[in-house]
Amino acid sequence: MMRHQPSYGPLALLAGMVLIWGTGYWPTEVAAEHTTNVVLSGLRIMGGAVLIVAVALVARARWPTGRVLLWGIGTGLVMVGISHWGTTEAVARAGPGNAAVIVNSAPLIIVALGWLFLRERLSGIGLVGIVVGFGGVILMVSSQLGGSTDTTDFLLGVALAAAGAIAWAAGTLVLRVFATRRGDEIDMLSFTAVQFVAAGIVVLAAGFAVDGIGTTNWSSGELWAALFWIGPISGLGFIFFFAALGKISAARASAAMFLVPAVAVIVEIARGNIPTGLVVLGIVLAVLGVALVNAPRDELATLGPRLWRYVRTKAPS
For the chain, which residues make up each domain, given as ranges? 18-314
Cα torsion angle, 29, 30, 31, 32, sign: positive
Residue pair 157/39 in contact by the 8 Å Cβ criterion:
no
Q: Which of 13-27, 62-76, 179-193 has the lowest mean pLDDT?
A: 179-193
Q: Check residue 127 and give its pLDDT.
A: 75
Average pLDDT, the chain: 80
DSSP-derived secondary structure letter, 142: G
Kindly indicate the confidence band of residue 164, based on its pLDDT and cuts at 50, 70 and 90: confident
Q: Which of 83-92, 171-180, 184-193 has the lowest mean pLDDT?
A: 171-180
Instruction: Answer with the residue of higher pLDDT: 73 or 102.
Output: 73
Top-confidence range, 119-123, 137-141, 209-213: 209-213
SS3 letters across 251-304: HHHHHHHHHHHHHHHHHHHHCCCCCCHHHHHHHHHHHHHHHHHHCCHHHHHHHH
Instruction: Answer with the residue of higher pLDDT: 199 or 272.
Output: 199
SS3 280: helix
SS3 254: helix
Q: Check residue 57 and give its pLDDT.
A: 95
Q: Check residue 143 and give its pLDDT.
A: 60
Residue pair 174/166 in contact by the 8 Å Cβ criterion:
no
Residue 144 has pLDDT above 60, yes or no: no
Using CB atoms within 10 Å of the CB of residue 294, give its burial: 0 to 12 exposed, 13 to 18 middle, 19+ buried.
Answer: buried
Q: How far apart are CA 19 and CA 240, in angstroms?
A: 11
Cα torsion angle, 116, 122, 127, 129, sign: negative
SS3 103: helix
**Rg, C-alpha atoms of the chain:** 20
Residue 192 has pLDDT above 60, yes or no: yes
Residue 317 has pLDDT above 90, yes or no: no
Vertex 235 angle, CA 197 and 105, to 5° = 100
Q: How far apart are CA 83 and CA 90, in angstroms?
A: 10
Q: Hey, what amino acid is at 211?
A: D
Kindly indicate the confidence band of residue 7, based on its pLDDT and cuts at 50, 70 and 90: low
Q: How far apart are CA 30 and CA 263, in angstroms?
A: 18
Kindly indicate the confidence band of residue 60, based on its pLDDT and cuts at 50, 70 and 90: very high
Q: Hey, what amino acid is at 259?
A: L
Residue 267 has pLDDT above 90, yes or no: no
Instruction: Please state the length of the chain.
Output: 317
